[in-house]
Amino acid sequence: MSAENLTQLTFLLQSIRNDLDIVVENWEIIYPELKTLVDSAKKAWFEIRENIAQAEKQIEDKKAELRSRGLSGSQLDFKIQIFIAYQNLFTVEWQRYQTAKEEEKRTLLDLVRHFILRKLLKQGDIILDSLASIIPLLEPLVEFKETLENQT
């Protein structure tokens, strides 16, 4: 396992954290039917964010296990590239939503929520499930993310 692979995994965790920050900060927009849960979501997310920082520190100690679960080399590169593609699309379309005319916002939000965010979360699953089996601190992140995924 190369230093680049370790950097990629750390980047992935940071990216997922940043993407979910956007989702939680904009909870009432993205999940209007669940707007009464905004405080609960923010509290849960705050706790989970701490686990991510701790998990990042453990990645280097798990090289052999990461390799055995397809989280190294070209296998990891491929998974990360797909994740980045959906993340870039999410970022572009979310920015587009924020600057859109009021009459365009509903259509853009549906695109972001029901297609792009769902794909981004599912691609994150592929890598996070393997990571969480090695680093149990990430299990709450997986469950939080899956909870959001079920709402998209």
Q: Count of CB atoms within 10 A of residue 20's CB?
A: 21
Identify how many contiguous H helices and E strands the chain contains and give both numbers: 8, 0
Whole-prediction pTM: 0.86
Is 56 within 8 Å of 13 (Cβ atoms)? yes
- Asked if 138 and 55 touch (Cβ cutoff 8 Å), the reply is yes
Q: What mean pLDDT do residues 62-76 have?
A: 88
Per-residue pLDDT for 87 more than 90? Answer: yes
Rounded-to-integer distance, Cα 85 and Cα 67, Å: 23
State the CB neighbour count (10 A cutoff) for residue 125. Answer: 15
* 107-120: average pLDDT: 90
Structure tokens that stand for 141 in this block: 């992140």
pLDDT single digits (tens) 21-63 = 999 999 999 998 998 999 999 999 999 998 998 998 888 888 8
pLDDT at 60: 83
Q: Quick check: 152 and 118 in contact, CB under 8 A?
A: yes
User: Residues 85, 92: contact at Cβ < 8 Å?
Assistant: no
Residue 25 confidence (pLDDT): 94
Q: Tokens 């920082």 correspond to what residue? A: 53
Share of the chain above pLDDT 90, in %: 62
Type of residue at 130: S
> Is 1's pLDDT higher than 80?
no
When pLDDT is cut at 50, 70 and 90, the band that residue 102 belongs to is very high
Q: How far is CA 42 from CA 19, 26, 49, 50, 96, in A?
A: 14, 10, 10, 13, 24
DSSP symbol at 100: S
User: Does the pLDDT value for residue 143 go beyond 80?
Assistant: yes
In a 3-state reduction of DSSP, which class is residue 43?
helix
